[in-house]
């Protein structure tokens, strides 16, 4: 009977792990395009790199991490609680799991990035943040800024 009771923990744990892996896969690199961006035209502006700085893209704090954590925490609390304390343990496990799940989701989806400050030929200056890819950027380097129809910008050599 114990093995049957452990199945929900395993299923919930695997589902939560799969979620975190999937949400951590979204790319903000300049050389990666989404399906929606493929085959769409981009405006191209010439610019010069003024500065390059390491930055961090904040992780997402979506509901799924909290929900997944609450389910897993609630199941864990229910398994360890007994008698009249079972409901209290279930509630405490769900609350703790929700907080932990949200924190894990945020940590897993946080990414290192670079802020590239460019000056366009018309003199305008703009900073664009993207994940580092294969391309390295240096101050004074001539680059192109691609602007997609949805307003997404990316810098490439």
Count of domains forming the chain: 2
> pLDDT per residue over 69-117, tens digit each?
777 776 776 677 667 777 777 777 777 777 777 777 767 778 889 999 9
pLDDT at 45 over 90: yes
- Strands ordered across the beta sheet of 142-147: 125-130, 111-120, 43-57, 142-147, 153-156
Together in a domain, 17 and 67: yes
49 and 64 in a single domain? The answer is no
Q: What pLDDT, on a 0 to 100 scale, did the predictor assign at position 15?
A: 55
Q: Which of 87, 109, 131 delimits the end of a domain?
A: 109
Confidence of residue 48 (pLDDT cuts 50, 70, 90): very high
Domain boundary among 91, 109, 127: 109
- Higher-confidence residue of 2 and 72: namely 72
Same domain, 42 and 74: no
Task: Between 37 and 14, name the one with better pLDDT.
Answer: 37
CA distance 152 to 96: 37
Please indicate, yes or no, whether residues 63 and 122 belong to a single structural domain of this protein: no
- For 81, the enclosing helix (H) or strand (E) is none
**Cα–Cα distance, 9 to 2 (Å, whole number):** 12
Q: Are residues 23 and 81 in the same domain?
A: yes
Predicted confidence (pLDDT) at residue 2 exceeds the cutoff of 50: no
Same domain as 16, residue 43: no
CATH at residue 46: 2.40.50.140
Point out the least confidently predicted range of 71-85, 112-126, 133-147: 71-85
Question: Which own/partner contact pairs does 82-88 have at CB distance under 8 Å and 24+ positions apart?
Answer: none
Are 13 and 39 contained in the same domain? no
Do 16 and 64 reside in the same domain of the chain? yes
Q: What b-and-e string marks burial along 25-58, b requiring 16 or more CB atoms within 10 Å of the CB?
A: eeeeebeebeeeeeeeebeebebebeebeeeeee
8 shares a domain with 48: no
> Do 67 and 97 belong together in one domain?
yes
CA–CA distance, 131 with 30 (Å, rounded to integer):
7
Q: Which residue range forms the structural domain that includes residue 116?
A: 31-58+111-157
Does one domain contain both 20 and 73? yes
Choose the most confident range, by mean pLDDT, from 15-24, 86-95, 134-143: 134-143
Please indicate, yes or no, whether the overall pTM of this predicted structure exceeds 0.85: no
Same domain, 69 and 44: no
């Amino acid at each position: 009977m114990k093995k049957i009771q452990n199945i929900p923990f395993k299923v919930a744990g695997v589902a939560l792990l799969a979620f975190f892996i999937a949400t951590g896969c979204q790319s903000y690199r300049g050389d990666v395009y989404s399906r929606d961006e493929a085959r769409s035209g981009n405006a191209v502006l010439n610019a010069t790199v003024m500065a390059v700085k390491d930055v961090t893209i904040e992780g997402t704090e979506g509901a799924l991490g909290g929900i997944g954590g609450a389910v897993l925490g609630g199941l864990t609390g229910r398994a360890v609680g007994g008698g009249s304390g079972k409901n209290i343990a279930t509630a405490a496990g769900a609350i703790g799991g929700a907080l932990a799940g949200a924190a894990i989701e945020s940590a897993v989806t946080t990414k290192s990035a670079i802020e590239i400050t460019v000056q366009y030929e018309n003199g305008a200056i703009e900073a664009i943040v993207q994940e580092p890819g294969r391309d390295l950027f240096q101050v004074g380097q001539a680059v192109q800024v691609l602007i997609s129809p949805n307003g997404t910008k990316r810098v490439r050599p």
